[in-house]
Structure 1
């Protein structure tokens, strides 16, 4: 399990929490609202926001609220170009569209999945890029596949005191989730079924940094076939 270093930079930790909240917010947010939501003292929150505004990563509106600044978009583009993930993955993801199912590429941060690519049949490639907001990891085959990379203690700490989306349990009864995690580790893929739709995901890299998935009206007998298809696609990425 990953542990905090002996001398963590708490200001950096708080700053990144604020940055994430600004990134997912659909509209400008006040300092007070951010302070209450993230449980960061108001004066400290004010200093963080003013620093992010100075750096151009946040932007202060005329009514003294804050939203993402141009710097965060520059960082996002630079990170995608630098990693090479998207440029390598896009042709492979487009080749999977021939099967007529939803095709996705996602990454995990904490307990949520961010979809870099989520393509539905008859959707353009443009529409598929970053078309979904954050999604609960435990309700996503990509999320479950990537959660299986974590140590058991890390998963338990992640959901400590929380209701687990998709499960009728909280941290006090996490065994159902952990059983599914063990199953995924053993079979080396994640498969979730909801309302007759099966979603199948395999991880990219070792250790995994992302995962790809297909989702649709897939029969139980076809799961193994799609796992092979996804595994071959993952090798190409």
Structure 2
């Protein structure tokens, strides 16, 4: 079901509808027709067409050669400007997560087809993981990437990894769609994802998606596999769930859908 839109002045309602159109484009598995967007946004096709024309003129949507629509490049600029602010907002939560787990805490977002690390709090241990803010990685071989993929429709996941490929980084890397989809299903059931040496040998990462974040987002801890053991998982997952819930509040969860 779509949003239940309150009765607002027409100008405010137009803004709400414009964002519903943008979210419909983001949720579409590929380029979308006006009818596709209208159906997803639960708007009249005529209204959707007018909003798409305006968003396209501003660069927030784009029209393909076959008269379909997709998200536009102007959103990249907005996202890049919002990222530093997200890092500032998330800082105290990541610090608390590092204190609770004594492992490096990370925040990452979906950036096109890749996952970008936007903030980190390094572990107090001398042997620790470090990933510079701004680094972008393939999602199939990272804990945060798989946590984000687990929130997306299966068709969008398969289309994404077909564009990026699934290269092998270690003997543990998942390199087939079937293996990845199986892993994502298991992750949804248990509520967290594991990168068990899939990006780097000897490194383990546990990640949880941030519910309702403005863009697909995940929080994680990473460290040597010897320290992030199966015995320590319950406490680590509890700390991550607490951090994810707090980040959801601070980063501004999207309005609930009816």
1:157 is aligned to 159
1:137 is aligned to 139
Mapped partners of 2:232, 2:178: distance in 1:
28
Deviation by residue 1:22-73 (Cα, 9 ceiling, x = unmatched): xxxxxxxxxxxxxxxxxxxxxxxxxxxxxxxxxxxxxxxxxxxxxxxxxx5x
* Structure 1 segments unaligned to the other structure (5+ residues): 21-71
Mapped partners of 1:179, 1:211: distance in 2:
19
Deviation by residue 1:182-203 (Cα, 9 ceiling, x = unmatched): 1111111111111333211111
Deviation by residue 1:124-145 (Cα, 9 ceiling, x = unmatched): xxxx895342111112111100
1:232 is aligned to 242
Matched, 1:76 2:80: yes
1:215 is aligned to 222
Mapped partners of 1:229, 1:168: distance in 2:
26
TM-score after normalising by structure 2: 0.57
2:195 is aligned to 192
1:13 CA drift (Å): 6.2
1:231 CA drift (Å): 0.7
1:34 is aligned to none
* Structure 2 segments unaligned to the other structure (5+ residues): 1-26, 35-61, 248-258
Mapped partners of 2:83, 2:134: distance in 1:
17
Mapping 1:113-128, distance limit 5 Å? 113-121=115-123
Whether the 8 Å CA contact 1:145–1:201 is kept in 2: the answer is: yes
1:30 is aligned to none
RMSD value, Cα: 3.3
Mapped partners of 2:131, 2:119: distance in 1:
5
Whether the 8 Å CA contact 1:110–1:158 is kept in 2: the answer is: no
Deviation by residue 1:158-199 (Cα, 9 ceiling, x = unmatched): 222653134464xxx521111101111111111111133321
Mapped partners of 1:209, 1:144: distance in 2:
11
1:97 is aligned to 98
2:87 is aligned to 86
| 3-state secondary structure, aligned to 1:218 | coil
Matched, 1:4 2:10: no
Whether the 8 Å CA contact 1:118–1:132 is kept in 2: the answer is: no
Mapped partners of 1:129, 1:192: distance in 2:
15
Mapped partners of 1:120, 1:131: distance in 2:
12
Residue-pair matches, total: 174
1:14 CA drift (Å): 9.7
| Greater RCO (Cα-Cα under 8 Å, separation 6 or more) | 2
Mapped partners of 2:79, 2:162: distance in 1:
31
1:211 CA drift (Å): 1.0
| 3-state secondary structure, aligned to 2:73 | helix
Mapped partners of 1:129, 1:199: distance in 2:
12
Classify 1:94/1:161 alpha carbon distance in 2 versus 1 (closer, same or farther; 3 Å). Answer: closer
